[in-house]
Amino acid sequence: MKNIVALVAATALAAHGSSAHYIFQALAKGTAKGVPYEYVRRNTNYNSPVTDLSSPDLRCNVGGAHGGNTSTLDLGAGDPFTFTLDTAVYHQGPVSLYMSKAPAAAADYDGSGDWFKINDWAPVFNGGQATWTLKDTYSYTIPRCIPSGEYLLRIQSLAIHNPGATPQWYVGCGQVRVVGGSGSGSPRPTVKIPGAFKATDPGYTANIYNNFHSYTVPGPSVFTC
């Protein structure tokens, strides 16, 4: 009965359409909420998700291939940062952070190079229930051991709230300049986007309302110093 109620609720939420969607629109140092689109590339699809696993829009959202008028945020290696949304993440699914080092200026970089993952907010299982991290702000820290330079800092929410339908990706890219990094090599493992996610990934096809007791977030393992 519990699973049936959850599935009915998920169907009702899906019917809300765009009202249940959200945009990663601000990035700031520390725990500040930041100014929308000051350091985050502005997307052009309003709050619609990306659903095509082969699309370059998976990198930085529709319209986010280049920096345009986006500024680049200075962060020290080990500094905290916060992404803020226009409304809290509403759909169940993991939230992940990725970085990709730009060959020169982050504003000119399209994200076609290598990406590494620095954090996952995966579900927490307790007493047969899964709890997702659904918030309007997500804070983390820049790894201390990465090389200094300019990066795209990417956040993604994978919405798997509607089993049987195509999962949805909500993505935003910030531009950051990392100073004081102690690393001289390249973080590993790395992936290309698109290419990092497959339609057969268990975390992509999971039914969160039926026999849901474990979960593996799609993509590479998290890089640690």
pLDDT of residue 201: 96
Residue 141 has pLDDT above 80, yes or no: yes
pLDDT band at 20 (very low <50, low <70, confident <90, very high): low
CATH of domain 2-205: 2.70.50.70
Decide: residue 45, CB within 10 A, 0-12 exposed, 13-18 middle, 19+ buried: middle
For residues 92-115, give the mean pLDDT: 98
Residue 65 has pLDDT above 50, yes or no: yes
Hey, what's the torsion of the CAs at 102, 30, 22, 118, to 10 degrees?
Answer: 50
Of the candidates 131, 144, 169, the one whose C-alpha atom is nearest the C-alpha of residue 76 is 144
Identity of the amino acid at 157: S
pLDDT of residue 182: 76
Q: With contact defined as beta carbons under 8 Å apart, do 27 and 74 qualify?
A: no
pLDDT band at 118 (very low <50, low <70, confident <90, very high): very high
Take residue 218 and report the two structure tokens written for it: 């799609």
Neighbours of 71 (CB within 10 A): 17
Take residue 200 and report the two structure tokens written for it: 């057969």
For residues 112-128, give the mean pLDDT: 96
For residues 199-209, give the mean pLDDT: 96
144 CB-near residues (< 8 Å, 6+ apart): 77, 78, 181, 182, 225
What is the rounded CA–CA span in Å between residue 102 and residue 109? 6
Take residue 182 and report the two structure tokens written for it: 């102690």
pLDDT band at 186 (very low <50, low <70, confident <90, very high): confident
What is the rounded CA–CA span in Å between residue 158 and residue 70? 25
Residue 166 has pLDDT above 60, yes or no: yes
What percent of the chain lies above the pLDDT cut of 90?
85
Residue 7 has pLDDT above 60, yes or no: no
Take residue 39 and report the two structure tokens written for it: 């350091």
